């Protein structure tokens, strides 16, 4: 039988007592599982702050790690009753935090943080979680073992901060190391380069590491436990009656994650698609006794619902850099020069939309000023104006069958226009499952509500399940 990979994120680890819920989930499977765990909620942010402070030679490293010592004492005192057992575990945890302190001391001495040390230090949030969870599970009678990504040789391309797993180099090693019939606990968020250096898999990358391990094992499924009811048709803080999505495709999930839905990391589905490994989203507050039902399932089945649209999501992490000029569409090489230089400066381009008189770059808002300065320094002869645009939001309208169904775009644009909301820019057709529009940030919520009302006013208020067509791809 293929193994099941389950992942617990920081939202499941906000308080020391949350581990009781995790134990209940693990027992509900009634079989050994592979567990991928994130850092406790807020710990990664604390580690970023620790890195900043460690560069100051006036700061004592033992004071920096005090919150980690307090965390482990709170967790262990709650879950390990026997003093001797608790003290044995405390020694192991203290050793791990001691490793971190030695790295911080090195940073403290040199006054700077090399890339390889940033990745290693930030990995300690997950390392602490995996050690604590393994120790508590063992104490409660679960046959389990903690293994680190370096132990299973989860090999990456070596890029610091945002690495990609090298499956050709990883799969056989991972399968062999995780072959025993026992539960394994693995810290997420990082892998190792071919020369053994810790490389992070991007911020929030524990989902991606879980998916990568599931791919290496050809797992039965990747089960992700959250504190919410799966994918919804819109943010419940904006829309009062969102619909739950029982089934969505890999492409739909990727678009929703990329454009702001916080259920999955945007790269989660990437390793799973070829092997058709489903992602199942569960609510940790609804744990059954071996009969867990997922809130949402992501797989390759193309489900076209009545009305086509499944979800309306958004992101505020967006800015627009406009290059204007009558010769922009005629003069060759402009786009290439700009994208090449932005790439050299480490600026990610989310999307490019062009016309004969303008090139529009969609960027992260934090990169806007730098991109403006870099582009201006190129002295492009055909560009008469470079205009940075901020205080905008991107709204993504997602649904399988969008391009095949007539009138979807018209309904979308009409709904927004009737409320007097101006669309700064739009894109339809770049993907078969998404249309996006950009509006002023102060009109974002209103736009989402009118779009949602247009497509969901008469739908089942609990889940999308009526009048579906399912195509297995």
pLDDT digits (tens, 9 = 90+) for 302-329: 766 666 899 999 999 999 999 999 878 7
Q: What mean pLDDT do residues 35-59 have? A: 85
Half-sphere exposure of residue 79, counting CA atoms within 13 Å on the CB side? 27
Mean pLDDT lowest among 3-7, 148-152, 332-336: 332-336
- What's residue 228's pLDDT? 86
Look at residue 395 and tell me whether its pLDDT is greater than 90: yes
When pLDDT is cut at 50, 70 and 90, the band that residue 109 belongs to is: confident
CATH numbers and ranges of domains, the chain: 4-227 (3.40.1160.10)
- What's residue 207's pLDDT? 95
Look at residue 431 and tell me whether its pLDDT is greater than 70: yes
- What's residue 212's pLDDT? 98
- What's residue 461's pLDDT? 47
Look at residue 467 and tell me whether its pLDDT is greater than 50: no
- Higher per-residue confidence, 180 vs 427: 180
When pLDDT is cut at 50, 70 and 90, the band that residue 382 belongs to is: confident
Look at residue 291 and tell me whether its pLDDT is greater than 80: no
Rg (CA), the chain: 24
Look at residue 268 and tell me whether its pLDDT is greater than 90: yes
- What's residue 237's pLDDT? 92
Q: Which pair of structure tokens corresponds to residue 173?
A: 């090693």
Q: Which pair of structure tokens corresponds to residue 253?
A: 């999930």
Mean pLDDT lowest among 73-77, 163-167, 220-224, 403-407: 403-407
- Higher per-residue confidence, 385 vs 203: 385
When pLDDT is cut at 50, 70 and 90, the band that residue 258 belongs to is: confident
- Of 141, 61, 147, nearest to 109 by C-alpha is 61
When pLDDT is cut at 50, 70 and 90, the band that residue 64 belongs to is: confident
When pLDDT is cut at 50, 70 and 90, the band that residue 290 belongs to is: low
Q: Which pair of structure tokens corresponds to residue 257?
A: 């994650």
Q: What mean pLDDT do residues 397-402 have? A: 86
- Higher per-residue confidence, 23 vs 60: 23
Q: Tell me what the pLDDT averaged over the chain comes to.
A: 89
Mean pLDDT lowest among 47-61, 246-260, 373-387, 404-418: 47-61
- What's residue 67's pLDDT? 81
When pLDDT is cut at 50, 70 and 90, the band that residue 465 belongs to is: very low
pLDDT digits (tens, 9 = 90+) for 432-461: 788 999 999 999 999 999 999 999 887 654
Look at residue 378 and tell me whether its pLDDT is greater than 70: yes
């Amino acid at each position: 039988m293929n193994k099941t990979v389950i992942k617990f994120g920081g939202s499941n680890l906000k308080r020391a007592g949350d581990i009781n819920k995790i134990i209940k989930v693990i027992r509900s499977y009634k079989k050994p599982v592979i567990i991928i765990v994130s850092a406790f909620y807020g710990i990664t942010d604390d580690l970023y702050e620790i890195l900043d402070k460690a560069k100051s030679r006036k700061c004592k490293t033992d004071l920096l790690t005090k919150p980690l010592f307090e965390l482990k004492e709170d967790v262990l005192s709650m879950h390990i009753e026997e003093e001797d057992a608790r003290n044995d575990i405390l020694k192991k945890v203290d050793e791990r935090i001691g490793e971190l302190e030695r790295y911080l001391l090195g940073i403290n001495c040199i006054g700077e943080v090399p890339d390889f040390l940033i990745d290693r230090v930030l990995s300690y949030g997950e390392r602490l979680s995996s050690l604590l969870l393994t120790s508590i599970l063992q104490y409660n009678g679960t046959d389990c073992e903690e293994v680190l990504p370096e132990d299973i040789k989860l090999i990456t391309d070596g890029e610091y901060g945002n690495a990609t797993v090298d499956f050709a180099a990883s799969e056989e090693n991972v399968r062999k190391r995780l072959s025993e019939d026992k539960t394994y606990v693995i810290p997420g968020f990082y892998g190792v380069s071919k020369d053994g250096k810790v490389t992070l898999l991007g911020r929030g990358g524990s989902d991606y590491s879980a998916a990568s391990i599931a791919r290496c094992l050809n797992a039965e499924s990747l089960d992700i436990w959250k504190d919410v009811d799966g994918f919804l048709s819109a943010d419940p803080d904006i829309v009062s009656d969102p619909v739950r999505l029982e089934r969505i495709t890999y492409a739909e999930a990727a678009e929703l994650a990329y454009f702001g839905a916080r259920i999955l990391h945007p790269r989660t589905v990437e390793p799973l698609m070829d092997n058709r490994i489903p992602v199942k989203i569960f609510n940790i507050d609804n744990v059954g006794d071996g009969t867990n039902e997922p809130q949402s399932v992501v797989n390759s089945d193309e489900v076209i619902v009545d009305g086509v649209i499944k979800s309306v999501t958004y992101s505020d992490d967006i800015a627009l850099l406009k290059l204007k000029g009558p010769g922009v569409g005629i003069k060759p090489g402009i786009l290439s020069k700009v994208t090449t230089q932005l790439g050299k400066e480490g600026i990610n381009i989310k999307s490019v939309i062009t016309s004969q008189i303008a090139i529009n770059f969609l960027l992260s808002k934090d990169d806007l000023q730098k991109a403006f300065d870099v582009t201006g320094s190129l002295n492009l002869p055909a560009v008469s104006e470079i205009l940075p645009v901020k205080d905008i939001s991107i709204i993504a309208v997602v649904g399988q069958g969008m391009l095949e169904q007539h009138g979807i775009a018209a309904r979308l644009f009409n709904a927004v226009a009737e409320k007097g909301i101006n669309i700064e820019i739009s894109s339809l057709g770049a993907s078969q499952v998404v249309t996006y529009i950009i509006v002023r940030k102060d009109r974002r919520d209103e736009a989402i509500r009118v779009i949602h009302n247009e497509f969901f006013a008469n739908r089942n208020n609990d889940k999308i399940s009526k009048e579906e067509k399912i195509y297995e791809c």
